[in-house]
C-alpha cells in the first residue's frame, strides 16, 4: 500500500468545493503549512519577541519596524495568522490521517497470497530449490518456522501447488499514523495552551485589553479574566513581604488581568553565587493561600522546579526590584547647579528644577534600577563580563566619553559594588538613561580609582562612561573643587603665579613674564574662556589642539603640545593645592598616587563638558527590597503535547527502524515425496541487513545455497 499525496476526491457537483476539499486533505498542503510554520518559528526565534517598539525602530528603522508590527512579527506565536495556520494544519493533517488510516488498517489483513508464480521470479531477492518432501508437508514446515520467527503466515492451496505468504514489520505503517497523529496532537495542545482561548474571550466575551496606568485594584472588570479561565500564561510580581493574586497577561494592544484562585506571599528571595560571581541559584520561599478556604501551603520555587496548586504551575521566571528606597546626591556638572540630596523609590519619579541664565527648566528624575552586586569582566578582550544581568563593563568602556582607557594588565571577574540606573526626562518628554556606580573602581591601568558615570540615549545602545578620579577620601569632592576653581579667573591667575614662581629663576624676570603669558593663555583655553565663542566655546584638550592647529606650524606641533600639556598639568596641580588649602586639607604629596589623580583629572575635566546633563546623581545609601517574578500558567494542553511527543517518537522510530518485509514460497509438487520451491522476498527499504536476512531465510526454509 503506497501513501498518496492527493487528498479526498468527493463526488460533488461543485467544482470549487471538490478542489478545496482535495487540497485541504492532501499531504502536499499539510507539508506546505508545516514549512510556513517552521519559517515563522525561525523568525520568532531570531527576532526578539515582545520588545518595546522603540527597540525595533532603532534596529530596523521606522518603515520596516512599522511593517513588521503590522504583520505581527514581534509576537509571532500569538499572531492571528500563525494560529490560523496551526488550525488549518490540524484540519489538513487530520484529514490526511483519516483518509489513509482505513487503507493502512485494511492492508494489515492482506497477505497477497494470490500472487502468480511467474511474478516471484521478477523479484531481486529470489531463490529456488528442490525439497525432499511433499509440497503440503513443506508448506506446513515453512509456515511454522516463519511463525516462530515472528512472521505472520497464511497458507493457500491451489490446484498446482501450495503458496506460503508471510509478512513482518507491519508496524512500519503504524509509524505513519503515529507520526501524523503526533502533529495533530502537538498543534491542538499548542492551540489550547496558546493565546487562542484568551483572544476568544476578547472577541466573544466582551473582554478588552487595558492600556492605562494606576493600581491593579482599580482596573475595571472588562479587563479581567475569571479564575475559571481554562488556559492562560502570565507574569506575577511579588515583592518580599508582599502578596499578589492577579497575574498580568501581555497582549498586543495592552494587558489583561488574570484572577488566580489563590494568592502568593513571598517570604524570602534567595540568590546564591559561584566564586566567579555567576548566579547558581534563584529561589523563592512562598506561601500559597487558597482564597476560598484560607488554607496556607508553604512552597519553594526554583528555576526548573515549579510549584503547582489547583492545576496552576508557578515557575521562577526572573527577579526584579520590589521598591527599594535610595538616597542620591546630585553633583553639579555645570556651574549653575549646586549639590543637593534626594530620596526616592525604584520605580517612582521626582520633579526637578534646573536653573540657568535663561531661566529654569523642569526635569523629571526617574528611578529605574538598583543593582547591589555588579560582577564585571576585567579580563582581556574577547572575555565576557557577567553579573546577574550579563553586563560587560569593559565593552561599555570601549565606547566611552573619556580617554586613556586602554589597559595592559590582565584582570579578573570581581564585584565592584552597587550601582544606580536612572533617567532624566526634560519638559519635551525626551529622556536619557544614566548608570552610575556607588564606589570608585580601580581599572588596573595605573590611573587610580575612578567613579564611573555611564550614559546612553536609547536602550539599544551601550553605556558610554565618563571616568572621574576619586580623591584621597574616595570622594568626588577633590575633582569638583578643582573644576570649580578652574572656572574662577582670579584663582587661575593665582595658580599661574605660584607655578611660574616655582618654575623660573627670580633673576630672569623676562622668562617669568613669557611663562606667565603662556600659562595664562593655555589655562584659559583649557577652561573654555580663551575665546569669544560664548557658552558653546570649545574647552579642554580639544581647545588646545584647535589652537595649535591654527597658530603653530605642523613641524613644531608635537614639541609645542608637550610643553603646553606640561604647563597645564603644573598649573592644575597648584590649583588643586590651593583648593585643599581652602578646605583645610593637607597638601598633595608628590608620588604615583598624586600623579595618577592629576593625569585623570586633566582627562576628566576635558571630557566633562560632553556630559549631557547639568548634574550627576551618586548613590549614597539604599535599602534593598527584592521581588520575584513568577510565570503562572494553566496549561491543559501540556499532557496532549506530551502524548503527541510520545506518538512522534514511536512513529519516527517505526518508520526509520522497522522494515516491512513480505515473503512468498511457492511449492510445486514433484511426485509424492518432493517439491520444487521458489522463494521471493520484498521489503520497503533495501539495506545490507535485508541481504543477510534473505540468505538466512533461503538456507533455513528451502535449503538453497545460491
pLDDT at residue 276 in the model: 61
pLDDT at residue 194 in the model: 78
Does the structure show a pLDDT above 50 at 535? Answer: no
Residue 376, strand partner residues: 414
Does the structure show a pLDDT above 60 at 135? Answer: yes
pLDDT at residue 335 in the model: 57
Mean pLDDT value across residues 348-364: 68
Q: What's 447's DSSP letter? A: S
The band of 246, judged by pLDDT with boundaries at 50, 70 and 90, is very high
pLDDT at residue 384 in the model: 39
Which helix (DSSP H) or strand (DSSP E) does residue 175 occupy?
helix 171-193
Q: What is the dihedral angle through the alpha carbons of 60, 66, 67, 71, rounded to the nearest 10 degrees?
A: 120
Q: Which of 126-130, 330-334, 391-395, 574-578 has the weakest average pLDDT?
A: 391-395
Higher pLDDT, 671 or 433: 433
Outline where DSSP puts E strands in 93-136: 125-131
pLDDT at residue 13 in the model: 64
pLDDT at residue 367 in the model: 94
**Strand order across the beta sheet in which 325-332 lies:** 340-345, 325-332, 615-623
Which helix (DSSP H) or strand (DSSP E) does residue 615 occupy?
strand 615-623
Does the structure show a pLDDT above 60 at 355? Answer: no
Average pLDDT, rounded, for the chain:
84
User: Grid coordinates standing for 45?
Assistant: 526565534
pLDDT digits (tens, 9 = 90+) for 114-124: 898 889 988 98
pLDDT digits (tens, 9 = 90+) for 632-668: 999 888 889 999 999 999 999 988 888 889 999 999 9
User: Grid coordinates standing for 549?
Assistant: 592647529
pLDDT at residue 647 in the model: 93
| Distances in whole angstroms, Cα of residue 416 to Cα of each of 269, 440, 452 | 22, 8, 11
CB-hemisphere CA count at 13 Å for 508? 10
CA 301 from chain centre, in angstroms, equals 22
pTM: 0.64
Does the structure show a pLDDT above 50 at 283? Answer: yes
Domain boundaries, the chain: 15-107, 117-169+659-702, 195-230+232-322+626-634, 339-472+617-623, 480-587
The band of 408, judged by pLDDT with boundaries at 50, 70 and 90, is very low
* φ and ψ of 370, to 5 deg: -115, 125
pLDDT digits (tens, 9 = 90+) for 358-395: 345 688 999 999 988 887 766 654 443 333 333 444 45
The percent of residues in the chain predicted with pLDDT above 70, rounded, is 89
Q: What is the CATH number assigned to the segment(s) 117-169+659-702? A: 3.30.160.110
The band of 337, judged by pLDDT with boundaries at 50, 70 and 90, is low
The band of 1, judged by pLDDT with boundaries at 50, 70 and 90, is very low
Mean pLDDT value across residues 446-464: 87
Amino acid at each position: 500500500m503506497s501513501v498518496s499525496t492527493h487528498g479526498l476526491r468527493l463526488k460533488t457537483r461543485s467544482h470549487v468545493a471538490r478542489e478545496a476539499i482535495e487540497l485541504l486533505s492532501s499531504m502536499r498542503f499539510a507539508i506546505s503549512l508545516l514549512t510556513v510554520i517552521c519559517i515563522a518559528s525561525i523568525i520568532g526565534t531570531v527576532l526578539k519577541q515582545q520588545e518595546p517598539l522603540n527597540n525595533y525602530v532603532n534596529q530596523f528603522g521606522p518603515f520596516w519596524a512599522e511593517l513588521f508590527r503590522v504583520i505581527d512579527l514581534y509576537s509571532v506565536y500569538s499572531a492571528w495568522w500563525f494560529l490560523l495556520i496551526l488550525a488549518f494544519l490540524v484540519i489538513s493533517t487530520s484529514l490526511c490521517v483519516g483518509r489513509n488510516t482505513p487503507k493502512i488498517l485494511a492492508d494489515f489483513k492482506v497477505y497477497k497470497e494470490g500472487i502468480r508464480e511467474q511474478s516471484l521470479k521478477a523479484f531481486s531477492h529470489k531463490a529456488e530449490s528442490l525439497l525432499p518432501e511433499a509440497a503440503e508437508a513443506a508448506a506446513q514446515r515453512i509456515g511454522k518456522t516463519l511463525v516462530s520467527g515472528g512472521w505472520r503466515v497464511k497458507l493457500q492451496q491451489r490446484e498446482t501447488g501450495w503458496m506460503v505468504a508471510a509478512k513482518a514489520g507491519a508496524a512500519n505503517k503504524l509509524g505513519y499514523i503515529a507520526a501524523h497523529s503526533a502533529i495533530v496532537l502537538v498543534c491542538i495542545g499548542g492551540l489550547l495552551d496558546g493565546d487562542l482561548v484568551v483572544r476568544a474571550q476578547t472577541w466573544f466575551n466582551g473582554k478588552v485589553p487595558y492600556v492605562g496606568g494606576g493600581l491593579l485594584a482599580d482596573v475595571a472588570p472588562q479587563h479581567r479574566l475569571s479564575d475559571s479561565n481554562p488556559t492562560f500564561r502570565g507574569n506575577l510580581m511579588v515583592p518580599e513581604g508582599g502578596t499578589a493574586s492577579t497575574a498580568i497577561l501581555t497582549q498586543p494592544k495592552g494587558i489583561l488581568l488574570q484572577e488566580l484562585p489563590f494568592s502568593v506571599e513571598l517570604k524570602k528571595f534567595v540568590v546564591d553565587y559561584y566564586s566567579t560571581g555567576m548566579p547558581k541559584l534563584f529561589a523563592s520561599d512562598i506561601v500559597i493561600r487558597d482564597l476560598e478556604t484560607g488554607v496556607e501551603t508553604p512552597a519553594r520555587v526554583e528555576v526548573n522546579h515549579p510549584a503547582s496548586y489547583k492545576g496552576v504551575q508557578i515557575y521562577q521566571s526572573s527577579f526584579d526590584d520590589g521598591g527599594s528606597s535610595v538616597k542620591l546626591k546630585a553633583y553639579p556638572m555645570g556651574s549653575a547647579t549646586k549639590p543637593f540630596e534626594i530620596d526616592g523609590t525604584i520605580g517612582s519619579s521626582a520633579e526637578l528644577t534646573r536653573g540657568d541664565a535663561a531661566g529654569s527648566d523642569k526635569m523629571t528624575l526617574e528611578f529605574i534600577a538598583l543593582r547591589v552586586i555588579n560582577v564585571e569582566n576585567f579580563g582581556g578582550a574577547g572575555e565576557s563580563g557577567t553579573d546577574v544581568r550579563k553586563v560587560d563593563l569593559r565593552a561599555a568602556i570601549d565606547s566611552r566619553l573619556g580617554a586613556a582607557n586602554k589597559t595592559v594588565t590582565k584582570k579578573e571577574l570581581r564585584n565592584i559594588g552597587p550601582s544606580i540606573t536612572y533617567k532624566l526626562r526634560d519638559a519635551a518628554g525626551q529622556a536619557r538613561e544614566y548608570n552610575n556606580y556607588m564606589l570608585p573602581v580601580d581599572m588596573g591601568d595605573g590611573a587610580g580609582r575612578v567613579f564611573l558615570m555611564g550614559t546612553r540615549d536609547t536602550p539599544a545602545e551601550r553605556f558610554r562612561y565618563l571616568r572621574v578620579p576619586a580623591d584621597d577620601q574616595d570622594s568626588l569632592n577633590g575633582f569638583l573643587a578643582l573644576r570649580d576653581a578652574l572656572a574662577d579667573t582670579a584663582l587661575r591667575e593665582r595658580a599661574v603665579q605660584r607655578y611660574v614662581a616655582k618654575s623660573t629663576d627670580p633673576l630672569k624676570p623676562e622668562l617669568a613674564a613669557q611663562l606667565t603669558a603662556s600659562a595664562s593663555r593655555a589655562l584659559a583655553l583649557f577652561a573654555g574662556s580663551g575665546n569669544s565663542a560664548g557658552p558653546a566655546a570649545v574647552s579642554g584638550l580639544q581647545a588646545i589642539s584647535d589652537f595649535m592647529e591654527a597658530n603653530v606650524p605642523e613641524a613644531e606641533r608635537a614639541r609645542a603640545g608637550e610643553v603646553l600639556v606640561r604647563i597645564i598639568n603644573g598649573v592644575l596641580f597648584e590649583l588643586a593645592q590651593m583648593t585643599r588649602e581652602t578646605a583645610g586639607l593637607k597638601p598633595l604629596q608628590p608620588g604615583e598616587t598624586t600623579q595618577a589623580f592629576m593625569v585623570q583629572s586633566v582627562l576628566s575635566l576635558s571630557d566633562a563638558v560632553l556630559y549631557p546633563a547639568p548634574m550627576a546623581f551618586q548613590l549614597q545609601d539604599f535599602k534593598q527590597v527584592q521581588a520575584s517574578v513568577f510565570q503562572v500558567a494553566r496549561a491543559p494542553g501540556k499532557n496532549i503535547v506530551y502524548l503527541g511527543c510520545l506518538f512522534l517518537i514511536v512513529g519516527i522510530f517505526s518508520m526509520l527502524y522497522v522494515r516491512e518485509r513480505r515473503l512468498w514460497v511457492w511449492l510445486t509438487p514433484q511426485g509424492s515425496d518432493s517439491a520444487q520451491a521458489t522463494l521471493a522476498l520484498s521489503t520497503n527499504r533495501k539495506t545490507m541487513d535485508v541481504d543477510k536476512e534473505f540468505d538466512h531465510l533461503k538456507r533455513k526454509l528451502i535449503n538453497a545455497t545460491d
